[in-house]
A and B are shown apart, each in its own frame.
Chain A
Amino acid sequence: AQSVTQLDSQVPVFEEAPVELRCNYSSSVSVYLFWYVQYPNQGLQLLLKYLSGSTLVESINGFEAEFNKSQTSFHLRKPSVHISDTAEYFCAVSDGGATNKLIFGTGTLLAVQP
Chain B
Amino acid sequence: KAGVTQTPRYLIKTRGQQVTLSCSPISGHRSVSWYQQTPGQGLQFLFEYFSETQRNKGNFPGRFSGRQFSNSRSEMNVSTLELGDSALYLCASSSGQGTGYTFGSGTRLTVV
The yes or no verdict on A and B being binding partners is: yes
A-side residues, CB < 8 A to B, are 32, 34, 36, 42-46, 49, 51, 90, 94, 96, 98-107
Q: Within the assembled complex, what's the spacing in Å between the Cα atoms of A43 and B6?
A: 10
Q: Within the assembled complex, what's the spacing in Å between the Cα atoms of A42 and B4?
A: 12
Partner of A104, one of B31, B43, B94: B43
B-side residues, CB < 8 A to A, are 4, 6, 31, 33, 35, 42-43, 45, 48, 50, 55-56, 90, 92, 94, 97-106
Q: Is the CB of B101 within 8 A of A106?
A: no
Q: Within the assembled complex, what's the spacing in Å between the Cα atoms of A88 and B94?
A: 22
Q: 8 A–B contact pairs at CB < 8 A?
A: A43-B104, A46-B102, A46-B103, A49-B100, A99-B56, A100-B101, A101-B33, A102-B45
Partner of A102, one of B33, B50, B106: B33
Residue of A nearest to B44 (CB): A104
Q: Within the assembled complex, what's the spacing in Å between the Cα atoms of A107 and B56?
A: 23
Q: Specify which chain A residues have a CB less than 8 angstroms from the CB of B100 in the assembled complex.
A: 32, 34, 46, 49
